[in-house]
Amino acid sequence: MFKGSNVALVTPFKNDRLDDETYIKLIHFHIKNGTNGLVPAGTTGESPTLSHGEHERVIELCVKESGGKLPVFAGTGSNSTEEAISLTSHAEKIGANGALIVTPYYNKPTQEGLYQHYKAINDKCGIPIIIYNIPGRSVIDMSIDTMAKLYELKNIIGVKDATGDLNRVDETLKKMGNDFIQLTGNDDNALEFNKRGGVGAISVTANIAPKLCSEFQKFSVMNDDKSKSEAKRLNEILQPVHHSMFVESNPSPVKYAAKLLKLCEDDVRLPLVKVTDPTKEIIKKALKSASLI
For the annotated catalytic residues, the residue numbers are 132, 160
Q: Which helix (H) or strand (E) holds 183?
A: strand 181-184
Q: What is the DSSP letter of 197?
A: T
Is 264 in contact with 12 (CB distance < 8 Å)? Answer: yes
- Among residues 96, 94, 90, the alpha carbon closest in space to that of 78 is found at 90
3-state secondary structure 34-88: CCCEEECCCCCCCHHHCCHHHHHHHHHHHHHHHCCCCCEEEECCCCCHHHHHHHH
Q: What is the DSSP letter of 105?
A: P
For the chain, what's the residue count?
A: 293
